[in-house]
């Protein structure tokens, strides 16, 4: 049978997998349950505005994701990402900016020049960061709060723990120290620009999934929106998929669904039962985004700020990034205990930085299962499965990053590569 592959799930992992296969000349059909591509990083419309299901931020170290976005960008269209050297501004308590020096000197200079820390704290932070970047191992069972135990309390509260919550979407008490270390190493242990922060300039579907689907069409592939795959029947020589409307036979399948959706499909294939059981044991953490529309003349002095003493950790000015004047996005990660008045509290957090009048409207989107909890000793499955015709892709598969766009795109490309390698 000539390869004829179904990719199930049109998030960033599925789109990366389908694109990689189509570019290698393989016939591909991409199935997506919803009407929009992008999965947990997708466009939504609120109050007539193109927004996202959650404000996202990318790191300069996201090599695979950045390469895919750049490769699909039409020559004439402006860059979809706004690159900023790493800085964390949390007025009036704290600010840190990494200058353009070779890594990791830029981090060292940033820490030593940070406002809001005493000299003892700056040196403690620099020594600790150096040890984290250079020591070979971090025990698998260690949590981030155990890892940071030797650090002064102010550093833990102002720097390391907020970084953990934003990068791993998991509270430091239960977050994996090893994955945290890997993220710090990816950002600060390579090239200077790896720690840059990249803000999307357009909605998340337009940033990668939509151009990936357009390229897929050009290459003769298919995209089936609003097509949830409900059945999976795997034989030795083919795999049959079923949706509400049809069944179709493929030579191979890549399951690129979110981990919470994997067990229902994988449990239908005896060889995949162990992986279905393992992934079914994952716990999840929410992320909430609140959009506040202020007067169009209102703008933050900087494109984004870190926030303290409240439910939101960041506020982004979408007027500056997306050309949506007066629109702010507040983000609360690891938001399992979000107070009901969290949007009022977030607005009060903003008032400590800048005076804003009453908003014209505000709306929130809470993604209850935004990401899996990135805990110590997590067993993340490989992209190859025990069935030779079925592969996995998604941010939960084995890799150095936590649940991020980079994990998703890497896994998609890797899964397609593993499939193509098969005799
Ligand atoms: C609010 C929020 C904020 C975030 N912020 C950041 C950030 O700032 N930076 C960052 O790097 N990452 C961030 N993330 C994480 C990032 O969005 C995810 O890691 C990534 O999008 C996961 O992609 P994926 O393709 O692996 O899975 P998904 O995006 O979940 O894609 C799976 C797709 O499969 C589809 N599907 C499921 N079941 C079926 C079926 N049976 N048939 C057909 N289709 C099916 C789903 O509809 C979905 O589209 C955030 C996530 C959220 C929710």
Beta strands in 157-251 (DSSP E): 197-200, 222-224, 231-234, 239-242, 247-250
- Nearest Cα residue to 333 out of 300, 351, 310, 352: 310
Does the pLDDT value for residue 351 go beyond 70? yes
The mean pLDDT value for 163-192 works out to 96
Question: Has this prediction a pTM greater than 0.75?
Answer: yes
Radius of gyration of the chain from Cα atoms? 22
Using a 10 angstrom Cβ sphere, with 0-12 exposed, 13-18 middle and 19 or more buried, the burial of residue 109 is middle
Task: Determine the angle formed by the axes of helices 177-188 and 119-134, rounding to 10 degrees.
Answer: 100
Query: According to the model, what pLDDT value does residue 140 have?
Result: 85
Over the stretch 372-399, which tens digit does the pLDDT of each residue have?
A: 999 999 989 999 999 999 999 999 999 9
394: CA distance to ligand 1 center in Å? Answer: 8
223: CA distance to ligand 1 center in Å? Answer: 17
Does the pLDDT value for residue 178 go beyond 70? yes
pLDDT band at 1 (very low <50, low <70, confident <90, very high): low
Q: Which of 258, 287, 334, 363 to mutate to test the pocket of ligand 1 (most atoms within 8 A of CB)?
A: 258
Q: 95 near 89, Cβ under 8 Å?
A: yes
Does the pLDDT value for residue 135 go beyond 70? yes
Which residues form ligand 1's pocket by a CB distance below 6 Å? 8-14, 31-34, 39-41, 53-54, 56-58, 228-229, 256-258, 261, 265, 287, 289, 367, 370-371, 394-395, 403-405, 407-408
Listed in sequence order, the DSSP H helices in 199-306 are 204-207, 209-218, 262-266, 273-280
pLDDT band at 75 (very low <50, low <70, confident <90, very high): confident
The mean pLDDT value for 347-354 works out to 96
Q: Which of 16, 29, 40 to mutate to test the pocket of ligand 1 (most atoms within 8 A of CB)?
A: 40
Does the pLDDT value for residue 77 go beyond 80? no
Query: According to the model, what pLDDT value does residue 83 have?
Result: 95
The mean pLDDT value for 126-155 works out to 92
Listed in sequence order, the DSSP H helices in 73-150 are 105-112, 119-134, 144-147
Does the pLDDT value for residue 105 go beyond 80? yes
pLDDT band at 138 (very low <50, low <70, confident <90, very high): confident
47: CA distance to ligand 1 center in Å? Answer: 23
Ligand 1 atom 53: residue of nearest CA: 370
What burial letters (b/e) apply to 206-238, b meaning 16+ CB within 10 Å? bbbbbbbbebbeebebebbeebbbeebebeeee
372: CA distance to ligand 1 center in Å? Answer: 11
Spatial distance between the Cα atoms of 334 and 336, rounded to a whole number of angstroms: 6
Over the stretch 15-74, which tens digit does the pLDDT of each residue have?
A: 999 999 999 999 999 999 999 999 999 999 999 999 999 999 999 999 999 999 999 987
Q: Which of 6, 7, 9 to mutate to test the pocket of ligand 1 (most atoms within 8 A of CB)?
A: 9
Q: Where are the domains of the chain?
A: 4-47+59-75+201-282+375-421, 86-195, 284-372
CB-based contacts of 192, cutoff 8 Å, min separation 6: 98, 100, 101, 102, 103, 106
Query: According to the model, what pLDDT value does residue 142 have?
Result: 95
> What three-state secondary structure class fits 289?
strand
The mean pLDDT value for 4-22 works out to 98
Instruction: Give one DSSP letter per residue of 216-228, joined into a string.
Output: HHHTT-EEETT--
Fold of 4-47+59-75+201-282+375-421: FAD/NAD(P)-binding domain (3.50.50)
- Nearest Cα residue to 401 out of 242, 216, 185, 195: 185
pLDDT band at 128 (very low <50, low <70, confident <90, very high): very high
Does the pLDDT value for residue 95 go beyond 90? yes
Query: According to the model, what pLDDT value does residue 13 have?
Result: 98
Fold of 284-372: Polyamine Oxidase; Chain A, domain 2 (3.90.660)
124: CA distance to ligand 1 center in Å? Answer: 37
Tokens found for residue 368: 């209850």
pLDDT band at 238 (very low <50, low <70, confident <90, very high): very high
Spatial distance between the Cα atoms of 98 and 114, rounded to a whole number of angstroms: 9
Average pLDDT of the residues of the chain? 96
368: CA distance to ligand 1 center in Å? Answer: 12
CB-based contacts of 418, cutoff 8 Å, min separation 6: 383, 384, 391
Distances in Å between the Cα of 318 and the Cα atoms of 95, 203, 260, 321, 324 are 21, 11, 31, 5, 6
Q: 278 near 267, Cβ under 8 Å?
A: no
Beta strands in 118-202 (DSSP E): 197-200
């Amino acid at each position: 049978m000539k390869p004829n592959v179904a990719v199930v799930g049109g998030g960033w992992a599925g789109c990366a997998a389908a694109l990689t296969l189509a570019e290698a000349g393989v016939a591909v059909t991409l199935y997506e349950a919803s009407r929009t591509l992008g999965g947990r990083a997708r466009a939504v419309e609120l109050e007539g505005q193109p927004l996202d299901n959650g404000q996202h931020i990318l790191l300069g170290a996201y090599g695979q994701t950045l390469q895919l976005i750049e490769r699909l960008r039409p020559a004439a269209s402006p860059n979809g990402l706004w690159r900023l050297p790493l800085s964390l501004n949390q007025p009036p308590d704290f600010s840190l900016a990494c200058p353009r020096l070779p890594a990791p000197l830029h981090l060292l200079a940033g820490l030593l020049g940070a406002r809001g820390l005493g000299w003892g704290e700056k040196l403690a932070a620099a020594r600790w960061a150096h040890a984290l970047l250079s020591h070979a191992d971090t025990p698998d069972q260690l949590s981030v709060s155990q890892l940071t135990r030797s650090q002064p309390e102010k550093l833990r509260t102002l720097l390391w723990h907020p970084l953990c919550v934003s990068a791993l979407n998991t509270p430091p008490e239960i977050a994996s120290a090893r994955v945290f270390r890997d993220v710090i190493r990816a950002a600060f242990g390579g090239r200077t620009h790896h720690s840059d922060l990249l803000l999307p300039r357009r909605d998340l579907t337009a940033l990668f999934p939509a151009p990936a689907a357009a390229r897929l069409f050009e290459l003769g592939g298919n995209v089936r929106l609003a097509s949830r795959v409900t059945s999976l029947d795997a034989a030795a020589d083919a795999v049959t998929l079923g949706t509400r409307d049809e069944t179709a036979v493929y030579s191979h399948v890549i399951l690129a669904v979110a981990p919470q959706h994997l067990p229902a499909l994988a449990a239908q294939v005896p060889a995949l039962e162990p992986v279905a059981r393992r992934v079914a044991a994952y716990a999840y953490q929410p992320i909430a985004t609140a959009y506040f529309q202020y007067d169009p003349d209102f703008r933050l002095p900087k494109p984004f700020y870190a926030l303290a003493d409240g439910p939101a950790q960041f506020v982004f000015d979408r007027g500056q990034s997306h050309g949506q004047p007066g629109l702010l996005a507040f983000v609360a990660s690891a938001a399992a205990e979000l107070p009901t008045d969290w949007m009022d509290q977030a607005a009060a957090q903003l008032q400590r930085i800048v005076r804003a009048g009453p908003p014209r409207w505000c709306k929130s989107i809470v993604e209850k299962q935004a990401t899996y909890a990135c805990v110590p000793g997590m067993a993340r499955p490989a992209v190859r499965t025990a069935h030779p015709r079925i592969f996995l892709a998604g941010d939960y598969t084995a890799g150095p990053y936590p649940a991020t766009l980079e994990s998703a795109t890497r896994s998609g490309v890797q899964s397609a590569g593993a499939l193509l390698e098969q005799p």
